[in-house]
A and B are shown apart, each in its own frame.
Chain A
């Protein structure tokens, strides 16, 4: 439903979200000696071989591409932690707050560029996919509670990707409800109930991965 909303409808493309997520800080183990780098966003480094430093993800990926560092996967990207999260997600209807805001993007970037640095890559990947699915499912069920009297939607701990997909849909849906609720605008109440399933079924599934 929400997860299947149209590409044009979302605020950002997945690439744009990835770009935003690249500002997240990660730990790297450099294998070069280099002085600190002074950027507008701040100073990073100095880089000493085998000593962990914190850099933004984009820099980590740039260094990694040149073979100058290995990226340490964030703490939450371990099999144990993710299994815990998955369990927590399954247990309650609430979204858990244990994953970072950009977890989809970060994990995607790391799977693309730093595969060799992640222990149990396949397991981690499938766990994250599971978590993502479970969370999307929850969002969808949350949205089922929509009706004409809904004026706002509050879902805690949504991640960037989820929010991005869901937000335009919710906005439009609320707007539609509002419009159809006021009798002078639309006299026929049947169409309101027609509208929602249409969105569900017709929109093509959004592809995150290629």
Chain B
């Protein structure tokens, strides 16, 4: 290569010929060149076009200027000095603006971020200061370097700051959080105390690569995201590189070494293109932003411009500067291929054509094989880089490669039985605390510290629960379960000497040393569960072992298959086992079995359905003791004894927000409690403490033509709950317990259900689904709500529906009257006196039922009577109902035009009704009531036990 000489001019006189660090900068338009020296207080702004003119000199610092930086739009110049201040100037005018910060020790490096809103300054001080250029506030101080910071570079994409110190450490900071992302120690030469040779580092203009001087007199390129070494440029530098600089388009790099050479590299081909030997060491360089030139300044303060650095056969360094790089870095490797083959110098057409098919990250690695770098090293490097990148991008991948036996793995592995797991645990993450157990009560966390683990037990409710001291665990427990009274731990066996151990730890006991442990020889604990005063462990031999709270071994028996998980709830233990090997469709075949441990009985057994192709993520009991499961497709199922014992899907994650995963921790009758994780995370981290989110349960209903899914859902949910309550009531009644509390629940639920049905009726009417509305009316339980339904449809102007509803009501009343008659007859026979003795509420009932007896004798007429549910109706309201019912029956009769017959049969109550013979069915019942009230006031005196008495009082 031809050696040309670059003419240097003196800009800053070196004091006593001592080497000092000088800096040089171009402005954006290449109209000005700024130089400074660490042995000179002046900053010179030169005009490169007329170098003979004396430069503009800024003398504001009191000591040598060590660092210069220009804002990207070249309106603001920053300088840092040994006098420990950072000053801002207007540019190109050079007016001093202000001191934006001061340090306690000299400043070594400055950098503007891409928008120019922030300056990073650092030096011999401990921290890197990030200073807002608007107001000079320090937004952040980044601490982590041990030596003086000599190089700072903002990532062009604005995410990171790279910094380097004189001991050879490079740190990548995330600007958003101020956290260290990568700390690369000892990757660059240790320059010690020589302040004239500082380590620098430089981002490629697309931000994909960070160039750093290497230990082998080379330049090493690091990947933006993973900080993995990508490749290095090694060539003719005989001593370490002290400065480097990317060309504006990122194709070339200029390096200057302590051997007084400056080399120009073609980055893509990893070849040096040109070199220049200088008299003194070049300590700073700058590519001209436009054109093909490089400004250099040596340690003696002489600067010069090296024109036509890149041979004319190649692309100019300022050509093809991408306006906006995309983060994938594709642009860096595009379009150069024709250029390469055209230049003919290092043509490798075959190689190029291959490369085009490959993704950019691979491409970069392939290119590496051209360099002098050792091939073996690259092959090792290759997968490493990939895996690291993946880890950064998705933690799910991490699961696959890293851990065994947890959910994430199972989803992807083909036709493999899911491994045993503890509900509410998260997989091992090296160096991080993990949940061994998380339930609605509290959590058990563990973190490994060289050789042993540290286990902490925290209850969510810190007030009423005991504080459990943390413990050191030498066993390496991986399974745990937590209840109010104690915790149980177990570890898998690891080789010969480390047997599987089960340990129980009560939280409060009257005796000392009441924790106990069991060891299993040749057997391995797979799953543990905890209930009221019992501990269960399922082992690799498919044994279910039951221990008492004090450690008594009570039962051992075999299960049907290999265990998947287990859960305890007071006296119930539920175990999930594999029924058979996985189907070829990747469906797990699971079975569950529920025991009552104290009684030693089997309560339930059956298949455990999960979504096709999914695995089980959580299994346990709701707060009410309902058995529930949650699978990896996000479907929650609850066991109900309806239809002989079925699993009802109660929740589906796919109906919720699509960017969230739900990590279930528990549920109650109406809400599912889970930790919301942003995708792709499947589980939360221990820190910060996860917050539970209650989600509503809902059936996966088909979208109906009704358009009121919420009510339909509520309707089904209430039905399910009603069923459960009734079942429980029956159970309790059969045992002979008092069911009044459940009775109240049931009544409240019935009322809620009626309300819901009424809403559904309204929406049915609105969408003209009259048949469905009629069916719904039949499902109402309370007379009051039926009346409400009639009111509703009359208000909606559907008289024929109102008529139909009334006839349904009538029918029902008739039925009830029949029943009531039967019971009444019995009652009358058995205790007529007792019935009479009842005053107030009871009395009208009696008289009404007696009426019923009389009216029943006439087949034509419907009965005006009913039975009163004591629980369901209050006296006053009942009175209103009664009057209304009488009206209904009146209507039936009057249509038959047999008013006279009625008179004789029904008696004095009818008399009252007689006053308005022409009855319009479409009139609201409230109107009727109102009329009746006035009527009854007449009849009141006649009969003290008149049922209408109540309504008048009301």
Contact = CB atoms under 8 A, between A and B. Distances in A.
B419 to A, nearest CB: 28
B461 A32 contact: yes
A130 B463 CA distance: 39
B689 to A, nearest CB: 8
A52 B676 CA distance: 13
Interface core residue of A50, A52, A67, A126 (most chain B CB under 10 Å): A50
A29 B691 contact: yes
B139 A123 contact: yes
Interface string A11-51: 00000000000000000010111000000000000000111
Interface residues of A, number: 15
Contacts of A31: 460-463
Given A123-B140, A126-B137, A130-B137, A49 B461 contact: yes
B462 A32 contact: yes
A49 B137 contact: no
Contact of B463 (A68, A72, A126): A68
A90 interface: yes
B298 to A, nearest CB: 42
Interface string A42-80: 000000011110000000000000011000100000000
Interface in B99-146: 134-135, 137, 139-140
B694 A90 contact: no
Contacts, number: 39
Contacts of A50: 460, 689-692
A50 B438 CA distance: 12
A49 B460 contact: yes
Contacts of A126: 137
Contact of B461 (A33, A72, A123, A130): A33
Interface core residue of B134, B135, B460, B464 (most chain A CB under 10 Å): B460
Main secondary structure, interface of B, reads loop
Contacts of A67: 462
Contacts of A51: 673, 691-694
Nearest to A49: B460
B137 to A, nearest CB: 7
Interface string A180-200: 000000000000000000000
Interface residues of B, number: 18
Contacts of B692: 50-51
B137 A52 contact: no
Interface core residue of B461, B462, B693 (most chain A CB under 10 Å): B461
Given A123-B139, A126-B137, A52 B464 contact: no
Contacts of A130: 135, 137
A52 B691 contact: yes
A126 B690 CA distance: 28
Nearest to B458: A31
A142 B946 CA distance: 79
Interface string B69-105: 0000000000000000000000000000000000000
Interface core residue of A32, A49, A68, A126 (most chain B CB under 10 Å): A49
Nearest to A51: B692
Contacts of B690: 50
A33 B694 CA distance: 15
A153 B464 CA distance: 56
A33 B135 CA distance: 48
A32 B460 CA distance: 7
27 contacts: A29-B689, A29-B691, A31-B460, A31-B462, A32-B461, A32-B463, A33-B461, A33-B463, A33-B464, A49-B459, A49-B460, A49-B461, A49-B462, A50-B460, A50-B690, A50-B691, A50-B692, A51-B694, A52-B691, A52-B693, A68-B462, A68-B463, A72-B691, A90-B134, A123-B139, A123-B140, A130-B137
Given A33-B461, A49-B459, A123-B140, 5 more contacts: A49-B462, A50-B692, A51-B673, A51-B692, A68-B462
* Shortest beta-carbon contacts, A-B, top 8: A49-B460, A32-B463, A49-B461, A50-B692, A31-B462, A50-B460, A51-B692, A33-B461
